[in-house]
Copies of this chain bind each other. A is one copy, B any other.
Amino acid sequence: MSKKQKMVEAITPRDEDFSRWYTDICMRAELCSYSTVRGCVILRPYGYAIWELITSELDQRFKKTGHVNVMMPLFIPESLLQKEKDHVEGFAPEVAWVTHGGDEELTERLCVRPTSETLFCDHYADVIESWRDLPKLYNQWVSVVRWEKTTRPFLRTREFFWQEGHTAHATAEEAMKETLMILELYEEFYKSALAIPVLSGEKSESEKFAGAVNTYTVEAMMHDGKALQAGTSHYFGDGFAKAFNIQFADRDNQLQYVHQTSWGVSSRSIGGIIMVHGDDDGLVLPPAVAPIQVVIIPIAPHKDGVLEEAFRLKKTVENAGFRVKLDDSDRMPGWKFAEYEMKGVPIRLELGPRDIEKRSCVAVTRDNREKTVVPLDHIVEVLPEMLDDLNNRLYENAYERLTSRIYDVSDWDTFVQTIDEKPGFVRAPWCGEPECEVKVKDITKATSRLIDGDVGASHRCVVCDRPALHMVIWGKAY
């Protein structure tokens, strides 16, 4: 392989230009590609396979906790979107409008769903009659559209993919319990499936979802210290129920309004994986969502018996339930090493004539490049442990980076300086006034990410010095 080819394929170093490094990985690992539709990307096979695995991980958790999938229409009539005042104000400015069907102008405009609360509410008003019909624990896997001005693959695109859960309950308590249960489910999912530690808590009034009483969030820290809002869970009280007249007859035959929730995790989680685990050689994938968990590279495949043994090894690994690929193409091993490192494959098995003689292969783990000689007969016993260890290392490293970069600050000058100079989050008290949040954003570009508990009046707001109500995690965000 020529030096030139290698150079063409190399990506921007992470510490040189984080943003270009990110885009380089998206393109070089073939996760996505730009489309002719401005602001929309194409999910290529490898990127879509990661999304399928994320989907499957979450969907199992939803089903285990009693949720079922449904499918609402893609469109929302303008009049339906307008039924809940706060909700329409939040979303109307950024929706795509369908005005014509074929050659005919529609009598009422339809927007392409930016989120589906209004559709679920409309349906719930139709199908909920008595306490027997509750709770409704619905979810759907769809794409939604928001007409963003500036876009970036996975992080902000005009069309993106997500699940949106929408539930209706007999009581406020039950709905709140659901809201918080889902928050925990998200936390556990990020930890176990994506090896990403998150902070969880409530959003401030100005950061909450349009129409929600409370919004809870899980926030992850990217390698550059910026925050990624990785999932949200909203408690609606009976606000939507009143706007859409969703009532049920309780056990005493009295009409009551339902209490509702909604919650979502989107394809930006793929952006999170890249920016938490990736390095200068490309993607690093947590095993649970790696389309290829193990890649086998034959060394000197033209030599007698090498390919046969490689295929045998593949069969063994495959039968043990791993997602495995054998690359028997005519590329050089060095090219293949770089390619599957770029694609973040957790484990590479190298198998050449000398390995075969010794009845072993060389296992290389993607994150730390550690090489281990593994007897061929023990491979299926060794792999689960290797993958687990890798997953744990990814999590531990990310956890260490997260916790070591949360800075406790109590005065305004240090606050501004810290945000300006130190990548990471700042923990500082806040009085609860939106104007202080506005000032923080104007001056530092950071926002309140979540409320990290309440504090006594001995604490002063880091912005205005009045008595503080909450401890807040602040940070710049994607």
Contacts and interface: CB of A to CB of B under 8 A. Distances in A.
Contacts of A147: 101-102
Contacts of A40: 73-75
Contact of A138 (B45, B51, B72, B75): B45
Nearest to A40: B73
Interface string A32-51: 01011100111111001101
B98 A97 contact: yes
A379 interface: no
B74 A112 contact: yes
Interface string A370-406: 0000000000000000000000000000000000000
Interface stretch (A10-18, A119-127, A163-171, A301-309): A119-127
A464 interface: no
A122 B35 contact: yes
Contacts of A101: 94-97, 147, 158
Nearest to A93: B102
A64 to B, nearest CB: 13
A35 B123 CA distance: 7
A402 B69 CA distance: 34
Contact of A43 (B49, B70, B96, B99): B70
A318 to B, nearest CB: 13
Contacts of A42: 70-73, 119, 123
Nearest to A104: B147
State the copy count for this chain.
2
A442 interface: no
A421 interface: no
A159 B119 CA distance: 15
A52 interface: yes
A103 interface: yes
For the residues of A in contact with B, the DSSP-based class is mixed
A102 B98 contact: no
Contacts of A71: 42-43, 48, 51, 143, 161
Given A49-B68, A98-B112, A102-B95, A127 B33 contact: yes
A194 interface: no
Given A40-B75, A73-B35, A159-B73, A93 B103 contact: yes
Given A70-B42, A97-B99, A98-B112, A37 B123 contact: no
Given A37-B75, A37-B110, A93-B102, 14 more contacts: A33-B123, A40-B75, A41-B73, A42-B73, A45-B69, A48-B69, A51-B71, A74-B143, A94-B101, A94-B102, A96-B100, A97-B101, A99-B100, A102-B147
26 contacts: A33-B126, A33-B127, A35-B123, A36-B77, A36-B122, A37-B73, A37-B75, A37-B110, A40-B75, A42-B123, A44-B70, A45-B69, A45-B70, A48-B70, A48-B71, A49-B68, A49-B69, A73-B159, A74-B143, A75-B159, A94-B102, A95-B102, A96-B101, A98-B98, A98-B112, A99-B100
